[in-house]
Structure 1
Amino acid sequence: MEKLIRDTRLALGSKGKPLSQTRFGELVGVSQVGVSRWESGEDAPTEKNLLKLIEIEPAFAKFLPSRAINLPVYTMVSAGALSAAETVLDAHLDELRRIPVAGLRNGDYFILQVEGDSMNKIAPDTSFIVVDRADRELVPGKDYIFMHDGRATFKRYRARPMRLEPYSHNPEHDPIELDGLEGVSVVGRVVKVFLDL
């Protein structure tokens, strides 16, 4: 981190002169001595300092500590055929149990419990999945919650041919072909799996 702090300060200079430690400190809310201690590795920026540094240089975001976010736990989502989805969209948030989950980037997350074995290579029956509602862009080989006609399922997306594919040890599960199936929407991408909460 010391090198990134120094390089950032030097890059902010003008007319061939580096920005002084005093002026850089004013930008991020610390003294010249504080900047000097950061650059020598004697001290490190606080989380508040890091948020200021990120405004100047986004690369500092990697140094932010991982925060736990309390996510709502809905009931079930089918990992088999499309099935009723009122629990995915219509539950009352204030009535739901919440579980802290760390290591998530910015997003709109919630937790579902898996029902069925069509995705059991990554999420066995009764396991829990973290879904990011803010990530709906389909990427082949990634896992999502899909909805169609008021029903939902947890599946892997494949592009050629377009289909929702099981990822299971059970060979009886068939993919859901998307050609000719209108009105399929993406609720969000599955980003984490927990066997138990």
Structure 2
Amino acid sequence: MYVRSTPPQANYTETVFARGAASRTLRRMNKPLKNPDLGRRIKALRDALGESQAVFGERFHVEQPTVARWEKGSLPARAILPQLAALAGMPEPEFFYGDGPVKTVPLVSWVAASGFAQMTPTHAVDAERHLTIGDLPSGDYFALSVRGDSMDRVAPDAAIIIANRNEIELQHRKFYVFESRGETTFKRAMLRPRLRLDPYSTNPEHEPIFPPEPESVRVLGRVVRVITDL
């Protein structure tokens, strides 16, 4: 006698449910990954370069809509990621996985790593160019190119320093950009036993600067980062 075997209804339902869940999982896996912070970094980089999405895309041989998707958080192709980081002048991990979006910082002039010297104003309108810097806390930043070797233990000649205008209250042994009578210098603040502006150098010829009175020196900002080539 021939008996037709029919799977129990419960098993059939479980199978359909499992297939549906697997299908939904595959659809989720096939969706492009998103990184909104990276999108904001890419937009900040493009803005710093002063380029439209179309012109920016030409650097990577992609069309304007692709750049628009990047800025909304879609991940660029793997081969393009190192190019973006290099263009931003940042290490790849910092550019891709930093805690927040990059900031556009104006490189406004140079500063003497020696005695006080004349320099141009530290305002964005006077910027030579703009830098894209990642992982900076909230602040009002400007960048300066270093000239001289009196601070070469932290910032050699031709390095770029990033200073925060919002941090002007002196702290012992911290680094600042100082201004006096229209001239500026980059030094370490030593508050005890009295204010002096110390060099931080491998060159023993550099000597501290002792302002005649604290009021004769103005703090333009605390130096929070140094960018240098190896």
For this structure pair, what is the TM-score category when the shorter chain's length is used for normalisation? 0.5 to 0.7
Q: Which amino acid aligns with 2:158?
A: T
Measured in 2, the distance between the counterparts of 1:77 and 1:131 equals 11
Gaps of 5+ in 1: 1-45, 48-63
Asked if residue 70 in structure 1 is aligned to residue 115 in structure 2, the reply is: no
Q: Which amino acid aligns with 1:69?
A: K
TM-score by length of 1: 0.63
Asked if residue 192 in structure 1 is aligned to residue 229 in structure 2, the reply is: no
User: Paired residue for 2:117?
Assistant: 83
- The equivalent position to 2:168 in structure 1, one of 122, 136, 144, is 136
Measured in 1, the distance between the counterparts of 2:122 and 2:128 equals 13
Measured in 1, the distance between the counterparts of 2:145 and 2:167 equals 19
Q: Secondary structure at the match of 1:190?
A: strand
Deviation at 1:88, TM superposition (A): 3.6
Aligned residues between the structures: 134
8 Å contact kept, 1:162–1:179: no
Give the structure with higher Rg (CA).
2
What is the RMSD of the two structures over their aligned residues, measured on CA atoms?
2.2
Q: Which amino acid aligns with 1:151?
A: E
Asked if residue 119 in structure 1 is aligned to residue 168 in structure 2, the reply is: no
Matches within 5 A, 1:1-197: 65-85=99-119, 87-89=120-122, 92-93=125-126, 96-160=128-192, 161-180=194-213, 182-196=215-229
| Larger proportion of helix | 2
User: Paired residue for 2:5?
Assistant: none
Gaps of 5+ in 2: 1-35, 38-97
Measured in 2, the distance between the counterparts of 1:90 and 1:180 equals 27
Q: Which amino acid aligns with 1:163?
A: R
TM-score by length of 2: 0.54
8 Å contact kept, 1:77–1:88: no
| Larger proportion of strand | 1
